[in-house]
Structure 1
Amino acid sequence: MSAPNLTATLLACQSSDPAVRTAAEAALTSAEENNLAEFFVALANELASEGKDESVRQLAGLHFKNLLVAKDDALQVEKHDKWKAIPPAMRNAIKSTVLGAIRSPVCVARHTAAQACSEIATIELPYKEWPEFLSVMMENVTSAGGDDGIKISSLECLGFTCERIALTMGTSSDTPEISPEITDLMLTTIVDGIRSDRPDPIRYAAAKALGNSLTFTKKNMDNPTERDMILKTICDATQSGDVGVRAAAYECIVQIAFQYYDKLQSYMQALFQLTFATIRSDEEKVALQALEFWSTLAEEEMELNDLAAELAEAGQSPPPESVCVGYVKAALEHLVPLLTETLTRQDEELDPEDDQWNISMSGATCLQLVSNTVEDAIVPCIMPFVQQHIQSENWRFREAATMAFSSILEGPSDKAIGPYVNQSIPFLLTALSDPNDLVKDTTAWTIGRICDLHVRSIPEDIFPTLVNGLAAKLLTETPRVSSQACFGIHNLAAAFQNDNAAATSGTNALSPYMPHLFQTLLQVVDRNDATESNLCIAAFEAISVLIQNAAPDVKVVLLQLLPAIIERLAQSFNMPAVTNEDKEQREGVQGLLCGLIQVLSVKVTKEELLPYCDAIMTNFLQVLQTKNATCHEEALSASSAIANILEGDFIKYMVAMQPFLISGLRNFEAYQVCTVAVGLVGDISRAIEGSMKPYCDEIMSALVEALQNSSLHRSVKPPVLSCFGDIALAITSEYEPYLQVSLMMLLQAAQTRAPDDDDDLIDYVNLLREGILEAYTGIVQGLKDGNRTDLLLPYVDAILSFLEMLASDRKNDYDNEVLGKAVGLVGDIASSFGVHIKEQIRQPYVMELLKEGRATGDPTIVETCDWASTIVQQILTAF
């Protein structure tokens, strides 16, 4: 693309005319696909051309950067590989041009060039390529008398590079770590920029860059001399006269607390003094970061305490670098008064819909983390403040005392905090009518937290007053307070989950209030201001939990509620949707109503549900015609519940459902929808069994596409594999056309392994193996039911090899779910093939799996082992 054409095309991408904009974007895509190297050259030249329009230069630089950036890991690797495939000479020319643009006299061009350069450096520095990059950056920053704008852009470039390297680390296993020589040069340059004699804009850019660099400067932080220099530089910057520099310096301190907790001991006295002084007296932007240091410290100590407890159970001690020093507990006497003081600095002008973070919010969060870290030790430190100020004449202190009490509820044991909870309820119920809205809001939130965390500490005689008190605030208060009241009712209802007493007596303490609560919460949904403060969602969620935990004596109320909810869903399609916001609101309500129908359907019998099913499914199918992924997820999930209840009668809806089912299975971008659609296929298969056959060609094709799609979220793939087994169980011998392709997919998935040190991948591999075992089990049982186990004989050795690999695979420490399913598959294969696999079944790994299964002590697994062992012994002793 020639320079004039590129200029015009970039400008056209900003056109208000969709047709012009689309054509321009298509032209850029064509240039990228037809000759990527030349396209990079053209964009670099456009960015570096002095005298060009600033916006064009900026657009060129941003497009250059975006050619190298992707959110998806696989696509990111692909983009990097395309860059590396460009001939070195051409790459060098492009790099030289972009690097030169950082010295442009035009600020926008410099800044954009810094972003573009950082993406190239992210690719090349790990391989020790592009040595000119760091030498130019160092020269730009450290040279005496250089242009301040160039120094800032160069430091920005180093900051962007550090940030991008940190984000892309681990994207590809082939990418080497950054060498110490490179990090040394980066740090030297950045620290030079943060010197106290530098102008504030330069110091700010350097401080931001330093924060981004800390992810991969472990070698430097391990060296006491270098660490001292880094910490001194940062601490000096906290005393800058510029608020931005001070805040950025504290951001660095937060990063150090997060990444280098074990290196803090020598600096804690200084950091204690610095942060306390800043929290008390500095501007809020800086004080927030100083508070974040203590929040981060508390989080780190919580994790270290959890690790120590976990290791102690195994008779082990944590390594020296993972020992909790207990800084938070040691500082408690001074830290708690500081935090309670921040709670009194509320922003009374804060818009309830504005999520702007402030010092009192940050203080409350920090107090909560501190409480979770020190547990019972927080109670004697905080309760004097609460008791002194909970009824203060000054609303700030009333609200602060209430918030302090709420913030510590999760940390201490019931024994330590329970008596105070018991005493607090009357005060809190009175405070629900406080003249100050913020006090009412915090009070309702506190009651909700008590209902969630310490419901057993609520006195029985106060329970009616509590329920009625919350219900009274649903319609009469601001959306914010009413939303908190919904939260309280939600948590009260959740406390009755798995209520065995209700199953015996047929009732529970909530039953008398259910009709009124349902009626009032539905009125809340209809409030004109229900979209504010998540009020509508909070009301629907409260209704849902009330339904789920309703005692048997509320059945008649639920049967009255069901047609009312169906009617609301039907009416929702007539809601006016003039703006996109209206449309989103309508679709949000539809998704929530689908969820209510789902929870209602499982509380009634098939006979009670049948009269409503046509109306329910008609509405669900209409919801599925919207373009809202969340709606689709809810409607498909609710359809699963209906299929489970109707069983074979669900067949009448399959012709209409199939197109939406396939669309959901192929919705690879909204992977949650895809996952729910896969689950629905399994539920329908179990419900209609052999009647599933006419729909299987399309479904199996979509499932195979999902497994082959490299960009699909990996969490979807285990349930897809399991779904093969559901379908095979349903259609038995009719599964033959899909046998080969599904077994190939299973054999391929079985090769997936996880390294010892990657807990996330180990968990994923366990899920994958569960899916594989469920698939094999379903296929074996299905073909056995259809008298076609002969179809599986060519694959038996491969299936048994997978079981053998599981038996020998100690390092991935597979969980009991995998082991139980593996043992079950042994029994299924043995019962299906009998003496035909006598030699394979006598192998030691079979007995090893059975032995491990019994050793779990899990009654279900032990029972499966006994069954499988009996069949195996019958085969081994047969003539």
Structure 2
Amino acid sequence: MPQESSWRPQEAGVHQICYLLAQVQKPGTDQGQILQQLDQCKSYPDFNNYLAFIFAQGDSLPIEVRQSAGLLLKNNLKDHYAATTEEFRKYIKIALLHAIRSPSKPLRHVVGTNVAVIVGVGGMPTWPELLMSIVQCLESNDPNALEGALDALYKICEEAPVQMESEVPSEPAGTSQRPSNVLVPRLLALFGSPYEDAKCLSVSIMNLLAGGSPSALAEHMDRYLAGLFALAHDPSSEVRKPVCTGLVQLLHLQPERLVPHMHEIIEYMLESTQSGDEGVALESCEFWSAFCEAAVSQPETLSPDVLRPFLGRLVPVLLKNMVYDEYDEEVANVEAAEEAANCGIVLEDKDAEIKPFLPKGATRGEEGGEDDDDGEEVNRWNLRKCSAAGLDVLSTVFGDELLPIVLPIVEQRLREEDWRERESAILALGAISEGCVSGLLGHLAEMVGVLLPKLLDGRPLVRSITCWALSRYSHWVVQAGAEHNGPGQQQFDTVIAGLLTRVRDNNRHVQEAACSALATLEEVAGPELLPRLPAILKTMAAALAMYGRKNLRILYDAISTLADAVGNALAEPAAMQILMPPLQEKWTSIADNDRDLLPLFECFTSLAQALCSAYEPYAQATFDRCMNILTMQLAARSAAANGQAPQIEPEREFIICSLDLISGLAEGLGPAMEALVAKSNLRNMLVQCCQDVSADVRQSAFALVGDLAKVAPSHFAPSIGDLLALGIANLQPAMLHQESMSACNNACWSLGEIAVKLKPEELAPFATGIVERLAPILQNMNSMPRSIVENSAITLGRVAWVCPAQLAPHLGHFIAPWCSALRSIRDDVEKEHAFLGLCALLRINPEAALGSWVPLCEAVASWRMIQDEGLRNEINVIMQAFRANLMGQWDQYWGALEGPVRDKLAIMCGL
């Protein structure tokens, strides 16, 4: 144990802080003023020590005061532990280890939270006494010490699992041990504990460790599995829940371990999915999706045939679980909203109902970014949703085999008076839409005919689930609608009309479902929407006037999706007159620091791209607002970084969305963008953003750099060296990790866009540095995302095109992976630029290509059609020169190529 700390609390300080903490608990007090006084206490270097003392030693104080002290300590440690002196750290650690045995369960839980924070920030190796204390508690007869240690351990494994594999100093001096090696045997022994909490927590911790697959668990896997089986029928549902979780996780991680017992496990999970305890039923219900995923990913280990005999029993269980409970909280909320709407009462959206807005982030040179939000409310994951997800995945594995089981139940439920039964039937039809489509396709018109009247159902949840179910069949509805003047077109029109009616529903929950469904349909339909555009726009304009804050986000997304789907058709004067006035009203009514502005910015980004020159009447005001927000936010960010009080709260999302909207302007306006940026300070702001600590700010900044390089390159002239250097710096190996990969990708792409706008003498000082960053990416392409590999190949070609003499001597070092990457790039102007650079280097140093002859020829043969006549001639001349210069060796080189490659080159180059 650590030596006693020399720090001692002053009585006056303890009383003052206890008083403030007690005041916070009292109703009617000025909470803001009290919290401000507590915040002022942070200026005292030993404030956290006082909190630790009150929390751990304040036995005579109310539990609520001690709990508040512990929670405040946790928040402070999270932000300032690194700056805390070693002496103060020692005191806090001693206090926490003392309190881990507290008789109070709430206090023990706060101990665990603090311990996890310290371990997460400082690491287990810096606190060897913690491991010793946890071991002592696990072997103790004191149930409080046992539960306290397990709670702390669970939180460490949850928040900082890597620390369980660290080397922690131990006795004798100079030795170390891994926490997982020390703890796994003791945790497994606790599976037989007489205490319910100990069993529950020890199984849960082992499940977390299994996710990290430590070596210690591998040695004890048989014992772990046996322990789960032994607890499978424990009388406590709190114990059976983590048992089910552990079995589901093993199915993901090591299905071969479960295969010998699979029939028994399926029977157990089938029984548990019907448990009266929803927690057990939910955890076991996850098994069915996990089974299907394992059977698809590892068919050599686990065959779907194992589950097939159980489908007749399993599917009805899932369908039963998909019916709303009589007292479901979601039902109560939706029905209350319906009643309020029918009475003309408008319910305001609460902040808690609106999930935090996350910008999509601009991506360049990629086929797509991360999956974006579908705008749906973050509701509690429950048995109903889990069962529907399980049915969905089952249908993708077993396909039409499920229809004889599902359809009779669905048909019966659709006739039921109980709306919950009808709703679950529609949910089931949506769930099987993907997997059973071949069997359903012949009945699509009939099925849509059954669903459409449900859009008018008196129950809001039936209307909303019908919107969702129809959206699940969007692809086939649109496909049928493409048959002009046929019944499919009438059906398509009817579906759109039905969804548009529900977009204007009085119930906000139905609005949400209808708007999301419309966006899905828009994405699939594309140009097929053009004849229906006026009706869609009028509905959206009406919705802009009636929606609350939460649904406006989903509506903005639907408008963005529509802009992407129909493009410049929105620039027609009639379309502009319908959509832009209500959008402009929203634009002017929201303050610059209101987060409700962010999704509207994303919407305007899509509109600027789609409307092109038609957006010019709005361009100056849009640009000026973005610049104002950038100015305020960057100043606030700079002040906060320098320890000063910013005038506004710095929020990087405002920076990202402003940069992205200016990018949308650049893409839509083209060269007309020059007039907007000419008199602005945007260039210097971009230099600042390109070196921001936040990867997503850099991501959007580099996207804008590349977009402006295409349409307004003269604006960058004074800062071109800074931007090139920052782009190169963002491609350092240390930057190439998942969290910042999109920023690196955009930096890479922007370097190429800048390069083609520069004179050789301007680019020359940076050319070698760029290639030194790009070549390793190409050489390690198998471990890199496809987008950055392709952007690296294109940018390398663009730099080579401008500065061939500088790069040609080094061609042999990177031509093979470069050509391999070029081979997979689709035909477009960027690929043309890359090949112009390749040809420029081959003219100077053709010998460098001979060692990479096959990948070179495969890259040339990857073209379907070269649009640029000059490039076609260039490639032809170079390939003919190889044939002439190789002379007696030509047959050997030609014979090394695959037949299809030889055939393509013979056509392209006359070889």
Does residue 102 of the first structure (1) align with residue 100 of the second (2)? yes
Residues in 2 aligned to 1:182 and 1:302: alpha-carbon distance in whole angstroms: 35
Go from structure 1 to structure 2 and tell me whether the alpha carbon gap of 1:186 and 1:365 turns closer, same or farther (over 3 Å shift). same
Question: What's the offset of the Cα at 1:337?
Answer: 0.8
Matched, 1:494 2:517: no
**Selected match of 2:878 from 849, 871, 878:** 871
| Pair 1:461–1:101, CA change in 2 (3 A) | closer
Q: Deviations over 1:138-176 (max 9, x none)?
A: 443344xx221101112223333444563568999xxxx
CA contact (8 A) 1:544 1:599 kept: no
**Deviations along 1:435-455, whole A, 9 cap, x unmatched?**
222111111111111114654
What are the residue-to-residue correspondences of 1:210-289 with 2, within 5 Å? 210-216=206-212, 227=221, 229-289=223-283
| Cα separation, partners in 2 of 1:391 and 1:683, compared to 1, 3 Å | same
Confirm whether residue 845 of structure 1 aligns to residue 861 of structure 2.
no
Distance 1:407-1:663 versus aligned 2 partners, 3 A rule: farther
Q: 1:466 aligns with which of 482, 495, 520?
A: 495
Q: Is the 8 A contact 2:259 2:302 kept in 1?
A: no
The question of whether the paired residues in 1 share the 8 Å contact of 2:7 and 2:91 is answered with: no
CA drift at 1:471: 1.9
* More divergent stretch after superposition (563-572 vs 725-734): 563-572
Which position in structure 2 is the counterpart of 1:513?
532
The equivalences for 1:633-648 within 5 A come to 633-648=656-671
Percent identical: 18
| Counterpart in the other structure of 1:775 | 795
Q: Shift of the alpha carbon at 1:469? A: 2.0
Deviation at 1:829, TM superposition (A): 5.5
The equivalent of 2:647 in structure 1 is none
Q: Which sits farther off after the overlay, 423-432 or 718-727?
A: 718-727
Q: Is the 8 A contact 1:409 1:453 kept in 2?
A: no
Contact (CA 8 Å) 1:827, 1:872: kept in 2 or not? no
By how many angstroms is 1:674 displaced? 2.8
Please give the residue correspondences for 1:353-752 in structure 2 after superposition, counting only pairs within 5 Å: 355-412=379-436, 414-452=437-475, 455-456=478-479, 459-497=488-526, 508=528, 510-527=529-546, 529-532=547-550, 535-550=551-566, 558-562=572-576, 567-568=581-582, 570-575=584-589, 583-601=594-612, 606=613, 608=614, 610=616, 613-618=619-624, 620-621=626-627, 624=630, 629-630=652-653, 632-654=655-677, 655-656=679-680, 658=682, 662=686, 665-666=689-690, 668=692, 670-690=694-714, 692-696=716-720, 699-700=723-724, 703=727, 706=730, 713-733=740-760, 735-736=762-763, 739-741=764-766, 743-752=768-777
Shift of 1:686: 1.7
On the 8 A contact 1:43/1:60 being kept in 2, the answer is yes
Structure 1 spans left out of the alignment, 5+ residues:
32-38, 70-78, 173-177, 306-317, 500-507, 784-788
2:784 partner SS: helix
Q: Is the 8 A contact 2:53 2:95 kept in 1?
A: yes
Render the CA deviation track for 1:599-657: whole Å, top value 9, x for unaligned: 233xxxx4x55555445544554565675655554554443344345443321111326
Deviates more, 1:563-572 or 1:843-852: 563-572
Residues 323-365 of structure 1 show CA distances to partners (whole Å, capped at 9, x for unaligned) of: 4454443421211011011112445542246713332222112
1:72-124 deviation line (CA, Å, top 9, x unaligned): xxxxxxx8xx99x999xx99999888656534556566545545666787899
Mapped partners of 2:121, 2:328: distance in 1: 48
TM-score (norm 1): 0.76
Deviations 1:741-781 (A, max 9, x none): 5632541453358879xx6xx133x5444344333333343
Q: Structure 1 CA distance, aligned partners of 2:121 and 2:663?
A: 46
Q: Deviation of residue 393 (structure 1)?
A: 1.9
After superposing the two structures, state which structure 1 stretch, 611-620 or 293-302, moved more.
611-620
Q: Within 1, Cα distance between the matches of 2:579 and 2:627?
A: 16
Question: What is the distance in 2 between the residues matched to 1:461 and 1:60?
Answer: 62
User: What is the total number of aligned residue pairs between the two structures?
Assistant: 784
What corresponds to 1:209 in structure 2?
205
Structure-2 change in CA distance of 1:93 and 1:573 (3 Å): closer
Corresponding residue SS for 1:750: helix
1:831 aligns to 2:826 (yes or no)? no
Distance 1:700 1:222 in 2: 49
Q: For residues 659 and 569 of structure 1, do their structure 2 counterparts lie closer, same or farther at Cα, with a shift above 3 Å needed?
A: farther
Q: What is the distance in 2 between the residues matched to 1:753 and 1:186?
A: 43
User: One-letter code of the match for 2:414?
Assistant: I
**What aligned pairs does 1:853-868 form with structure 2 within 5 A after superposition?**
853-854=859-860, 856=862, 859=865, 867-868=874-875
Query: Any conservation in 2 of the 1:470–1:489 contact (CA below 8 Å)?
Result: yes
SS state of the match for residue 264, structure 1? helix
- Aligned-partner Cα distance in 2 for 1:575–1:330: 61
- For the 8 Å contact 1:475–1:520, the answer to whether it is kept is yes
Q: Is the 8 A contact 1:275 1:291 kept in 2?
A: yes
Asked if the contact 1:367–1:407 (Cα under 8 Å) also holds between the matched residues in 2, the reply is yes
User: RMSD in angstroms over aligned alpha carbons?
Assistant: 4.8
Matches of 1:657 and 1:694 in 2, distance apart? 12
**1:154 to 2:149 alignment:** yes
CA distance in 2, matches of 1:828, 1:755: 21
Q: For 1:723 and 1:5, locate their aligned partners in 2 and report how far apart those are by CA, in whole Å.
A: 59
Q: In structure 1, how many angstroms separate the alpha carbons of the residues matched to 2:531 and 2:197?
A: 65
Does the alignment pair 1:339 with 2:318?
yes
Q: 2:308 aligns with which of 312, 329, 333?
A: 329
Q: 2 CA distance for matches of 1:862 and 1:515?
A: 40
Where in structure 2 are there 5+ consecutive unaligned residues? 1-5, 25-31, 168-174, 335-352, 354-377, 482-487, 634-650, 887-911
Question: Residue 815 of structure 2 corresponds to which residue in structure 1?
Answer: 803
Compare 484-493 and 49-58 and name the one that shifted more. 49-58
Q: Report the equivalent of 1:35.
A: none
Contact 2:52 2:69 in 1 (8 A): no
User: Following the alignment from structure 2 to structure 1, what is the Cα–Cα distance between the partners of residues 831 and 725?
Assistant: 27
Counterpart in the other structure of 1:191:
188
Contact 2:745–2:787 (8 Å) recurs in 1: yes
Counterpart-to-counterpart distance in 2, 1:63 and 1:530: 34
Query: CA separation in 1, counterparts of 2:166 and 2:791?
Result: 26
**Structure 1 counterpart SS, 2:856:** helix
The match for 1:58 among 42, 63, 70 is 70
From the superposition, tell whether residues 548 and 745 of structure 1 become closer, same or farther in structure 2 (CA, over 3 Å). closer
Aligned partner of 2:900 in structure 1 is none
Q: SS at 1:495's partner residue?
A: helix
Answer with 657-666 or 771-780: which moved more. Answer: 657-666
Deviation of 1:387 after TM superposition, in Å, equals 1.8
- Which amino acid counterpart does residue 534 of structure 2 have in structure 1? P
Q: What CA distance in whole angstroms lies between the structure 2 residues aligned with 1:718 and 1:19?
A: 43
Secondary structure of the 1:549 match is helix
Following TM superposition, by how much is the alpha carbon of 1:407 offset from its aligned partner in structure 2, in angstroms?
Answer: 0.6
Structure 1 residues 356 and 825: alpha-carbon distance in aligned structure 2, compared to 1, 3 A threshold: closer
Q: How many angstroms does 1:290 deviate by?
A: 1.5
Q: What is residue 824 of structure 2 aligned with on the other side?
A: 816
Distance in 1 separating the partners of 2:588 and 2:668: 29
